[in-house]
Each structure stands twice: as structure tokens, then as C-alpha cells.
């Protein structure tokens, strides 16, 4: 039985067992499948549904116990919130809160009338800013007092909740929104998280957007302040809102240690006919996107098409070079667009560097492909499209040396069946492609970016082994239920037993996977709780090894 199913059964069991005594409101409890986050005020950890019995009832107090947490001192405070429905956690309606003062039990003093029908309440947990991400949180309601007496309910076992870090929430550091995650691990173990820093709004290019970086030296528990690594400022005399850089992909050369970050730069804007617009300034409110209409056009000139930039670092991500513009050397002139695919690039076993890439062909139709370097990033070569009407993709090297490209497919949009990621493989660096047997048959998606990653580890018999990991929102329409899956046969099968739903919230749903160490991986992703979240998952948890 996989961990997600066990978690769901435990939640349903709690809901079924926690019925109040006859003649009083009935209380149902559910722990959502979401991490409890540091650097976020009151992460939702427990939903309580109070179903009225027809009599007026006022909540007077609630006793909470988190003594079975790995370290109860990780918890700084508890808050009780009311919401309009069973799915939304409304931070605007906190009715009580209390600090823990290092204690494992807290009592909330209340004076909260229950509604005549159903009242939805959430308990939120605030953690210390820095915690060990192997720690788990246990939160259990042990007593509820009302003006009519104490509600009695059967005892239940609280699941141990995963912890994580909110790297960015809306408005932090003067940035309206952060989107499009990518993450990689430097040779010294430093984690490098990249994303769009969207200063003015959450909208895509064109806009005031830089590629930003945060580094972690302790496996993801703490992170350095945000620093821009691709920022074109007011290049060409245009405002920053007309020099946006987006859709970053990070790649670590495993042989030299050099770190590359690729991004797509849009300078100025084109009109509805694909013509350069003169006279743009900071007050101009016209907007177009590189994937919309004629937002990017054939050719390689900066006034015709978006530009493919690459910056690099030789000191573990502390400092970065002025970017190289590889557009003229890699983009075919007839293509409307050529861009990085967000996430992480790879180093093949023979040392070849591979970026997943995407674009629009001579008719403006989207495609996915790869771009590679056989000389450690001095020059880059673009492969042929793997498929059409596909976009954001991730690549992984399979055990036979071939490259698998896992692609977002526009044909899936809103369709329950057929639905599945488009998957192709190549043995010649993208000159030719073969559709994989699983293509559009497994790995359901809501037409959204996803992450593919080959992780190397030490097997129980001490031999070297690897596993293919994949993360995306598991839903045909909505970006929710972010799930990590594992394949032990190069992606031929993705057993349900080897899957973990780590965030059920509805958000933007993009993700990127990297290694923390051989026994653990980290996922940087977009959550309904925060713009950018990092969680740690032990390999044994998904492989079900002891």
C-alpha cells in the first residue's frame, strides 16, 4: 500500500471515528496532504468540520497536543481559522492563536459560535525559521469545550506531517510573485534554486522579470537571500518591464563543476502583426507573450525574436558571468521561437551537456527538443523537434545511454482520456526520435510543466543503483495533487506503490527535482501555500526499502 493511500485511509478513519456524543455537534477531523512550512505564518495542518445538531453552540476552548512531533520545539505558535468551505484555508479569519513557549500542549481560549449548519475550521502551525527537514509534525486535538459542556470523541492517531520551507510568498523581498522553479546540486552539495522573480505581477513575459537564485548549504533547511543571476536591466534604453527574462533552466557540468543557467530574454514587444513597436516606455500598457499570437517571430534579430541567454558560475553560484547570447548559433531562422525548457539540464555519462528546450516552428506550432554541448558549454547544437504541439519538457539519460524527453502535451488539455505525458527517446542527440511505449498512456497531466530526474543511490546490497523520478500534478484538469513517482525500469512502468502525493493544494504546479544526498531528494515547486516551496523526501520512503 503506497504512502498516499495510507495517508488517505488514516484521514478517513479519523473522520469516521471522531463523532461527538449524542445530542451535541459532530466534529470531523482531516489532516491534508501538505507539508508544514517554515518561513510561513500558520501552515494548515488540520481541518475540523463541526456539524451542528440544531442547538446553538459556542466553542469555549480547545486543547492541542503535538508531543509526538520529532521535536515539539520546532513549533512556535498555533492559530485557529474559520473558512467558507472545506477546501479553502482563509488566512483573513483567524479567531484564536497561541504561542507554544516550548511546550508540547497548548490550550486555545475561544468564544466562537458554531453556525446553524456546518462550520469549517483549520488549525495552522507556525514553525521556527530553521528546522531539520527530516523532522515531522504531529498535531492532535485532545479536547473541545463548549458552553454546553465538553465534546467527547474517540481517540485517534495523528499522522506525522512532512516539513518544508516556503522560499517565497507573494510580496516578499519586493517581488510580487515567483514562478517557474529549477533546482540543481553543485559538486560540493550546495543546492541551487532558481526561479522567475516577477516584480510587478504574476503575469508571464513580457514584464519586469529577472531570473533569481537562492542557495542552501545545509540540505535545504536554510537559504541565502534572493540574488538576480539573469537581469537585462534597461538594455537598449527600454524600461525593465520591456527587458524581462524568464523560463530558466539550470545545468551543472559534473566534470568541470561549472554551473549554467539559461533563460529567455524578451526585448521590447511585437504588435499583432509581428512588427517591432517603437516608442515603448515605462507607461506603456500593451502586453504580448512569446507563445501568444506573433509575440516572437522568425529570424534571430533582437527586434524580431526572443533571445536564448546562458550565464555561468565557477564558484558554486556565488557570482555569475555576463550572459552569452546563443540565439544566432542555435535557433533555426524559420522558427518563430527557440527557448530553454524550465527546470534542470543534465550531464550525460560521456560528459555531454544537455538542456531541454522548446520553441515554435515555421508555422508557429510548439515543439520540444534538446540542445547539447560536447565541449563543456563553449558551443551548443540544437536537435530536431521530438514532437509537435508539445512545450515544456525534461530530459533524463536511461541505462542504455539513450535520452528520454518527457513533454507537456497540449492535446491533454482538459481531457480525461486519452491523457498522458508525451514521451520520446533519442540515441543520436536529437537528430531522430522514437516515441516511447508509454507516451500519452500513463502519467496523467493537466497540461502543465513536470520534472523528470535520474537519481543515483546505494542499493541495500551496497551496489550502485539508479531510479527514474517524476513529479507533476496528478489530475486531468486541475493543477493539484502534486505527486512524486518512481520507476525502476527506465520509465517502462510507474507503480502506484512507488508514489507519494506530497501536496494536494491547487497551485501553479511546476516542479523540479534534485539530489540532496544518495538517500534523499529535494523538490522545489509551486504550491497553493506559497509561490515557491522546498521539501525533502527520503528515497526509502518512495522505494519502500528498509
CB 421 within 8 A of CB 407: yes
Joined together, the cell numbers standing for residue 499 give 508514489
Joined together, the cell numbers standing for residue 181 give 522553479
Measured distance CA(196)–CA(248) in Å, rounded: 7
Phi and psi of 543, rounded to 5°?
A: -85, -10
Size (the chain), residues = 546
Measured distance CA(296)–CA(200) in Å, rounded: 22
The strand pair at 191-198 and 177-185 is best described as: antiparallel
Joined together, the cell numbers standing for residue 286 give 500593451
Q: Rounded to a whole number, what is the distance in angstroms from the first to the last CA of the chain?
A: 15
Measured distance CA(523)–CA(194) in Å, rounded: 12
Joined together, the cell numbers standing for residue 24 give 451535541
Q: Any idea which residues carry the catalytic annotation?
A: 392
DSSP string, 22-63: TTS-EEEEE--S--EEETSSSEEEEEEEEE--SS--EEEEEE
**Comparing C-alpha atoms, which of 398, 401, 338 is closest to residue 370?**
338
- List Cα–Cα distances, 81 to 11, 297, 403, 410, in angstroms: 20, 50, 48, 39
DSSP 299: S
Measured distance CA(526)–CA(451) in Å, rounded: 12
Query: Bridge-partner residues for 383, per DSSP?
Result: none
Joined together, the cell numbers standing for residue 310 give 546562458
CB 406 within 8 A of CB 470: yes
Which helix (DSSP H) or strand (DSSP E) does residue 105 occupy? Answer: strand 105-113
CB 490 within 8 A of CB 437: no
| Long-range contacts of 143-146, Cβ-Cβ distance < 8 Å, separation of 24 or more | 143/61, 143/62, 143/63, 144/27, 144/59, 144/61, 144/62, 144/63, 145/59, 145/60, 145/61, 145/62, 146/24, 146/25, 146/57, 146/58, 146/59, 146/60
How many CA atoms does the CB half-sphere of 303 hold within 13 Å? 7
**Comparing C-alpha atoms, which of 34, 139, 48 is closest to residue 86?**
48
Amino acid at each position: 500500500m503506497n504512502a498516499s493511500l495510507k495517508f488517505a485511509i488514516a484521514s478517513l478513519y479519523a473522520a469516521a471515528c471522531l463523532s461527538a456524543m449524542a445530542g451535541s455537534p459532530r466534529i470531523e477531523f482531516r489532516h491534508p496532504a501538505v507539508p508544514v512550512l517554515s518561513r510561513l505564518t500558520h501552515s494548515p495542518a488540520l481541518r475540523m468540520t463541526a456539524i451542528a445538531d440544531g442547538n446553538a453552540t459556542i466553542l469555549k476552548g480547545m486543547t492541542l497536543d503535538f508531543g509526538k512531533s520529532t521535536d515539539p520545539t520546532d513549533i512556535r505558535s498555533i492559530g485557529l481559522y474559520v473558512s467558507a468551505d472545506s477546501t479553502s484555508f482563509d488566512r483573513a479569519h483567524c479567531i484564536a492563536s497561541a504561542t507554544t513557549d516550548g511546550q508540547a500542549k497548548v490550550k486555545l481560549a475561544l468564544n466562537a459560535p458554531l453556525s446553524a449548519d456546518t462550520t469549517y475550521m483549520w488549525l495552522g502551525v507556525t514553525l521556527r525559521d530553521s528546522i531539520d527537514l527530516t523532522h515531522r509534525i504531529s498535531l492532535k486535538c485532545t479536547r473541545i469545550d463548549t458552553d454546553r459542556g465538553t465534546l467527547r470523541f474517540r481517540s485517534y492517531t495523528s499522522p506525522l506531517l512532512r516539513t518544508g520551507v516556503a522560499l517565497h510568498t507573494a510580496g516578499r523581498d519586493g517581488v510580487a510573485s515567483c514562478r517557474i522553479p529549477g533546482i540543481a546540486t553543485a559538486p560540493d552539495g550546495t543546492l541551487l534554486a532558481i526561479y522567475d522573480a516577477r516584480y510587478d505581477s504574476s503575469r508571464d513575459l513580457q514584464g519586469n522579470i529577472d531570473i533569481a537564485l537562492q542557495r542552501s548549504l545545509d540540505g535545504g533547511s536554510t537559504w541565502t537571500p534572493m540574488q538576480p543571476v539573469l537581469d537585462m536591466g534597461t538594455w537598449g534604453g527600454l524600461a525593465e518591464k520591456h527587458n524581462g527574462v524568464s523560463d530558466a533552466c539550470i545545468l551543472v557540468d559534473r566534470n568541470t563543476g561549472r554551473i549554467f543557467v539559461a533563460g529567455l530574454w524578451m526585448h521590447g514587444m511585437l504588435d499583432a502583426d509581428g512588427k517591432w513597436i517603437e516608442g515603448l516606455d515605462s507607461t506603456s500598457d500593451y502586453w504580448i507573450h512569446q507563445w501568444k499570437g506573433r509575440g516572437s517571430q522568425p529570424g534571430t534579430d533582437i527586434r524580431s525574436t526572443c533571445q536564448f541567454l546562458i550565464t555561468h558560475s565557477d564558484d558554486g553560484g556565488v557570482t555569475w558571468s555576463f550572459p552569452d547570447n546563443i540565439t544566432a548559433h542555435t535557433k533555426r531562422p524559420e522558427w518563430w521561437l527557440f527557448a530553454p525548457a524550465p527546470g534542470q539540464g543534465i550531464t550525460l555519462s560521456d560528459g555531454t551537456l544537455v538542456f531541454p528546450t522548446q520553441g515554435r516552428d515555421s508555422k508557429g506550432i510548439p515543439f520540444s527538443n534538446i540542445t547539447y554541448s560536447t565541449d563543456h558549454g563553449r558551443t551548443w547544437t540544437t536537435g530536431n523537434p521530438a514532437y509537435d504541439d508539445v512545450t515544456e519538457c525534461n530530459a533524463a539519460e536511461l541505462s542504455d545511454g539513450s535520452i528520454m524527453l518527457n513533454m507537456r502535451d497540449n492535446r491533454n488539455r482538459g481531457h480525461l482520456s486519452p491523457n498522458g505525458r508525451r514521451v520520446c527517446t533519442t540515441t543520436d542527440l536529437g537528430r531522430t526520435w522514437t516515441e516511447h511505449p508509454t507516451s500519452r498512456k500513463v502519467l496523467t497531466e493537466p497540461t502543465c510543466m513536470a520534472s523528470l530526474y535520474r537519481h543515483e543511490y546505494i542499493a541495500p546490497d551496497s551496489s550502485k543503483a539508479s531510479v527514474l523520478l517524476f513529479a507533476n500534478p496528478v489530475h486531468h484538469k486541475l493543477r493539484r495533487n502534486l505527486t512524486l513517482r518512481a520507476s525502476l525500469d527506465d520509465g517502462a512502468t510507474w507503480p502506484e506503490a512507488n508514489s507519494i502525493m506530497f501536496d494536494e493544494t491547487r497551485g501553479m504546479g511546476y516542479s523540479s527535482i534534485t539530489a540532496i544526498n544518495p538517500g534523499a531528494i529535494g523538490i522545489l515547486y509551486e504550491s497553493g501555500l506559497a509561490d515557491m516551496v522546498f521539501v525533502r523526501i527520503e528515497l526509502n520512503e518512495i522505494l519502500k526499502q528498509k
